[in-house]
Amino acid sequence: MSKRMSLRAFQEHVTARLQNLAAREGDAPRLGLSVGAHRFVVELSDIAEAVPVPPMTRVPLAKPWFCGMANIRGNLYAVSDLAAFFGDGPTPPGTDRRVLIVHPKYQVNAALMVGGVLGLKSVAPAAADDSRPEAPPWAGPEYRDGEGGTWRGLALAALLGDPRFLGVGR
C-alpha cells in the first residue's frame, strides 16, 4: 500500500516534478490566468497554490480592489482583486474564480483573486514591440503560445513591491 500524503505535500511534489521537467526542456512552466479581459502567465515558482474563493472579512477604509482578509488553512492572507487593481473592474462572481496564494519565499501573506486559472502554458517570448505604451513595473514581457495567442507576463516580485499595490488604505 502506498504511503499517505497530504494535499499540500502532493501539490509541492507535482510542482517540483513539473519544474524539473521544464528545466530539462529549457523553459520554465507558467500558469495561465484570466484577469479581467486579459490573459497573464505567472511562473509556477511564484505561486504556492490556487484555492476556491474563501470567505473574507472586509477591511474598512480600504481601496475597492482590496477584498479583505481570509483565513486559509489557519493562516491569514490579505486578498487583492487583480482585475480591479489593474482597472478592469471587480472580478465577477462565478465558479471559475480562484485565489492564488503567493509563495512563502516572498515573505508576505498575500493572495490574489483572479477570474480563472487556465492551466499550464507553454509559451515563448514574443518579438519586442517598441510602439507599446509604457507598461507598469509588474507587467512582464509578452509571450505567444502554440496557437498564436498573446499572453502578458506577470512579474509578481515587482507587483508585491509596487507602492500603489502596497497602499491599500484610502
User: Domain containing 100 — which CATH number?
Assistant: 2.40.50.180
Give the DSSP per-residue string, 21-76: HHHHHTS--EEEEEETTEEEEEEGGGEEEEEEPPPEE--TTB-TTEEEEEEETTEE
Residue 21 lies in domain: 7-166
Domain assignment of residue 21, yes or no = yes
Domain assignment of residue 35, yes or no = yes
Whole-angstrom distance, CA of residue 136 vs CA of residue 159: 9
- Residue 48, pLDDT score: 95
Report whether 17 contacts 11 (CB < 8 A): no
Report whether 98 contacts 53 (CB < 8 A): yes
Report whether 81 contacts 99 (CB < 8 A): no
pLDDT means per 10 residues, the chain with 170 residues, are 66 68 58 93 94 96 96 96 94 94 96 95 75 73 87 94 90
Domain assignment of residue 133, yes or no = yes
Please tell me the total count of domains within the chain: 1
- Residue 1, pLDDT score: 40
Domain assignment of residue 1, yes or no = no
- Which pTM was predicted? 0.80
Return the percent helix, strand and coil in the chain, to nearest 5.
25, 40, 40
**Which residues 6+ apart lie within 8 Å of 115 measured at CB?**
33, 34, 35, 36, 83, 91, 92, 94, 96, 97
The one-letter amino acid at 108: V
Whole-angstrom distance, CA of residue 109 vs CA of residue 90: 21
User: CA separation (Å) from 31 to 47, 112, 116?
Assistant: 9, 14, 11
Domain assignment of residue 128, yes or no = yes
Q: Note the pLDDT tens digit of each residue in 86-114.
A: 999 999 999 999 999 999 999 999 999 99
Domain assignment of residue 2, yes or no = no
